[in-house]
Amino acid sequence: MSRVYNFSAGPAVLPEEVLKEAQADLLDYKGCGMSVMEMSHRSQMFDDIIKSAEKDIRTLLNIPDNYKVLFLQGGAYQQFAAIPMNMMNKHHKAGYVLTGQWATKAWKEAKIYGDAVALASSEDKTYSYIPDCSDLPITDDMDYVYICQNNTIYGTEYWELPNTKGVDLVADVSSCFLSKPMDVSKYAVMYGGVQKNVGPAGLVIDIIREDLITDDVYPGTPTMLKWKTQADKDSLFNTPNCWAIYMCGLVFKWLLRNGGLAEMEKRNAEKAAILYDFLDQSKLFKGTVEKKDRSVMNVPFVTGDKDLDARFVAEAKAAGLENIKGHRTVGGMRASIYNAMPKAGVEKLVEFMGDFEKKNLR
């Protein structure tokens, strides 16, 4: 049977050696007689796991000392509420750049807690581009400016951060998290649901500048959603997602062993170039995103014929190319080529696309 390549934009595609290591520890963690899933989060063994994970992600991203790393439950979606609850505490106003479904959902959630202003949007062209963010209508009374840095569904990515005019920048980096070096100091808050590129679903990693972690929060903020609650207990206020934290820790070590984020950036750019180069010369397939805003992680494309798209998805699946169907709002296909996707997987996809094109061009 030929190898299966998973192009899913949802559950993480993890490196094979990480999965093998995790499989062993699922039964018996370092010969201690219990699995990681059984041990207490208050135990010394788990304390070593979470501290090692934090140390490694700080190394990978060169996180400044005045930023706190939090391993939180609820995924990125829960931060849509946690961010305004913790940050709309001065002027009760924030700006949002709407570049897709997740930024829009975050904006709508923030409107519950204050004046959430849509600074710019690319909805007019089905979020197929990043709006010009060089001179956004940002005002001094905004507590923060919010972006979704890589848009999974629509395949766009910010290649230059917005000019926030001195206002704190908050970014959902879920789909580009740990895919390349990032200057953490340019953000007030950077957070990512780990299920795209780092680990199992259900965990979000927040990297927060410490001066933003205070008791001055939206009235009625639940104890669990206060960043200070979590920061004061080093992410151990209550039982965290122990297994996901452990898995992320393994991925961090894999990244460090494989050249760190600079090497990941190089590999990911090479993989994306293979696919985009094919799309640019194809007579059947075309990308749906403006070239200057193309994501390296998520590549949507179409044939222009819905029936042909459906046939491609079915035949791709039969050929071992899984989860290639695009989101319903875009249609067509989407290849998510995260860190663990090998170059061979992208080459296999392009080879299949070439064969499909030859058979179906009229």
**Residues annotated as catalytic (active site), given as ranges:** 102, 172, 196
Q: Which helix (H) or strand (E) holds 205?
A: strand 203-209
Q: Tell me the H-state helices in 40-183.
A: 44-61, 75-87, 101-110
Q: How far is the C-alpha of 147 from the C-alpha of 104, rounded, in Å?
A: 10
Q: Determine contact, residues 69/54, Cβ cutoff 8 Å.
A: yes
Bridge partners, residue 171, by sequence: 147, 190
Give the closest residue to 322 by CA, choosing from 310, 314, 330, 311: 314
Q: How far is the C-alpha of 337 from the C-alpha of 121, rounded, in Å?
A: 26
Q: How far is the C-alpha of 35 from the C-alpha of 199, rounded, in Å?
A: 18
Q: Which position has the token pair 């094109």? A: 357
Q: Determine contact, residues 127/288, Cβ cutoff 8 Å.
A: no
